[in-house]
Amino acid sequence: MKGICILGSTGSIGVSTLDVVGRHPNRYRVVALTANNNVDLLFEQCMAHKPSYAVLLDEIKATELRGRIKAASLQTEVLCGVSALEEVASLPEVDSVMAAIVGGAGLLPTLAAAKAGKSVLLANKEALVMSGDLFMKEVAKAGAELLPIDSEHNAIFQCMPANYHAGRRAPEVRRILLTASGGPFLNKQLHELHDVTPDEACAHPNWVMGRKISVDSATMMNKGLEVIEACLLFNLPPEQLQVVVHPQSVIHSMVDYVDGTVLAQMGNPDMRIPIAHALAWPDRFESGAEPLDLFAVGQLNFQTPDFERFPNLRLAYEAVRAGGIMPAVLNAANEVAVAAFLEQRIRFTSIPDIIEYCMVNTAQRPANTIDCVLDADKESRALADSHIFKKHSH
């Protein structure tokens, strides 16, 4: 039986992971669950899965959870703070770590899991985007196993040669075709994007996701971050990565081989499929997802992404080509801009402007230590905040 730690257990990926784990009680034991501040759901999860540890970032919420755990006579120990996340991700009794904390906050605990040589189930793309080669080097050094959870990267991983391990260059692969749904605004006119609301941006046609990632999907920054992540995971230059808009989200990505063969991974848009694949790897087991009905799908469409409509995709390609701290700068500026849009402080169309401003106004330098990465992240956030304040304060 394997021990699992779920970083971000109350988010959509965390909830889906517990759903899959719950189907295989003889295979997995929940060792630790962590959340930002959702006490109610974390308590329910503790009742259902009886982890040894639960972590909350907020001290007041942690105290509240301790009281409820004690009243319920559970043996779960409640910890608090960022260092506790790193601690539970590195526990000796943990074999696999589901890294599902959204955004830059997930970097340090995910890195701790890699350094501890765990099997890292990577749902947090920002951790890899920010730290890039540094992260991949730690994975290699510690002999950790990196299994991608993003539906696209998991699809690519499934289509790679037998016995493939993340970070290795596969010379027989000519290119990767990374599919994108195009989000809710694929067919909107450019001028209509000016006035879209947060609720409209979060109404994804195919996937149920958190608000931040839903906005990223609407701006296609999600795909931009995935391009950077794919370059690192599969050790390919951006020129060998092609984004393909595929509105049905049935083909999750494809791998084009030098002999002309293209392998595609297909399935319903259900995150339990990649989660179950990574949990069972190299075997397979039941995920709870519905079988794919091709007759109901009817047809599959493909189109070229429009860089004018989706400037964030262009910026992500620029960031990965620039290397160094630029992917971290792009990611931090995007997080600040998306938060400002969700709080209705800026327009939807201002998001790429803020990111580009930060990229242009940050001096490039190598990302050769974790402190360099964290400094660049902090600097970019401050720059984005001041730019929003100057441009958009009323």
What's the mean pLDDT in 86-112? 93
pLDDT (tens digit per residue) in 331-352:
999 999 999 999 999 999 999 9
Rounded distance between C-alpha atoms, residue 51 and residue 320, angstroms: 39
pLDDT (tens digit per residue) in 125-174:
888 888 888 999 999 999 999 999 999 999 999 999 998 999 999 999 99
Rounded distance between C-alpha atoms, residue 196 and residue 377, angstroms: 28
According to the model, what pLDDT value does residue 289 have?
Answer: 96
According to the model, what pLDDT value does residue 371 have?
Answer: 93
- Which of these, 195, 231, 8, 193, lies nearest to 98 by C-alpha position? 8
DSSP alpha helix (H) spans, the chain: 12-22, 39-49, 59-71, 82-89, 107-115, 125-142, 151-159, 198-201, 211-219, 221-233, 272-280, 294-297, 311-322, 326-342, 351-360, 370-392
Give the three-state DSSP class for 313: helix
The larger pLDDT score, comparing residue 186 to residue 61, is at: 61
Strand partners, 243: 178
pLDDT (tens digit per residue) in 190-234:
888 888 999 888 887 666 677 888 899 899 999 999 999 999 999
- Which of these, 110, 112, 121, 185, lies nearest to 148 by C-alpha position? 121
Burial class (CB in 10 A: 0-12, 13-18, 19+), 232: buried
Give the three-state DSSP class for 250: coil
Q: Is the pLDDT of residue 15 over 80?
A: yes
Q: Is the pLDDT of residue 394 over 60?
A: no
Domains and CATH numbers, the chain: 2-148 (3.40.50.720), 159-268+294-392 (1.10.1740.10)
Please tell me the total number of residues recorded for the chain in this structure: 394
pLDDT (tens digit per residue) in 261-290:
999 999 998 999 999 999 999 999 999 999
Rounded distance between C-alpha atoms, residue 105 and residue 345, angstroms: 23
Structure tokens belonging to residue 199 = 């609720």
pTM: 0.91
